A and B are shown apart, each in its own frame.
Chain A
Amino acid sequence: MGDYYNRIERKLTDALAPEHLTIEDDSHRHVGHAGVHPDGGAETHFNVEIISQGFEGQNRVARQRQVYELLSDELRGRVHALSLVTLTPEEASKRRAG
């Protein structure tokens, strides 16, 4: 895994103690698009799913704002887009059941 993948994983794990964390480098689907890094490589677009008890009592905007703040250095750098799913464990189990 790349440098940004590792940084994202470490920061989110440290701050949110997620029960579940999936990080997927989706950059290959955006090749040729304006946000792709000039070197044409990976690690510009990520899909991130976080299940954390810490999101309890926060609305979606507050949850995502928190994640964006944690990753503000990465977003100023190479990362162009971050697609987020932010759930509490309870919401995640409802979603699986639904």
Chain B
Amino acid sequence: MSDNPAIAQIQEDVTSNDVVLFMKGTPMFPQCGFSAAVVQILSQLGVKFKGVNVLEDDNLRQGIKDFTQWPTVPQLYVKGEFVGGSDIVREMAESGELETMFKEKNVAVA
């Protein structure tokens, strides 16, 4: 797929964690408003997730865009599947679809 060494790590992250958010900054200290918004939505639902800070590594920052074929960050993965970026996650949260999806995929919500 690519000679970018970050791709293997991304694959590993989305395979071995139920919920992964590729974001700018960390869940405690998001460095972008769009990333912060998704962190807040997941936290409100009480979903445990792994936050991956793409600002730590240029290979990762480019790699996640190539891996998903999606040009922006944040990106939410659930059980290995790309769910969407901040607009999609926000829409799904507002309509209740996000919580339904977590339940259907057997991801614990609070």
| A interface residues (Cβ-Cβ under 8 A, vs B) | 30, 33-34, 60-61, 64-65, 68, 72, 75, 81-85
Contact = CB atoms under 8 A, between A and B. Distances in A.
Contacts of B83: 61
Given A34-B31, A61-B82, A85 B87 contact: yes
Nearest to A87: B91
B84 A60 contact: yes
A75 B71 contact: yes
16 contacts: A30-B33, A34-B31, A60-B91, A60-B92, A61-B83, A61-B84, A64-B84, A64-B85, A64-B87, A68-B70, A68-B72, A75-B71, A81-B34, A81-B72, A82-B72, A85-B91
Contacts of A84: 87
Nearest to A47: B87
Contacts of B91: 60, 85
Contacts of B33: 30, 33
Interface of B: 31-34, 69-72, 82-88, 91-92
Given A72-B71, A81-B72, A60 B88 contact: yes
A81 B37 CA distance: 14
Contacts of B32: 33-34
Given A34-B32, A84-B87, A85-B87, 16 more contacts: A30-B33, A33-B32, A33-B33, A60-B84, A60-B88, A61-B83, A64-B84, A64-B85, A64-B87, A64-B88, A65-B69, A68-B72, A75-B71, A81-B34, A82-B72, A83-B87
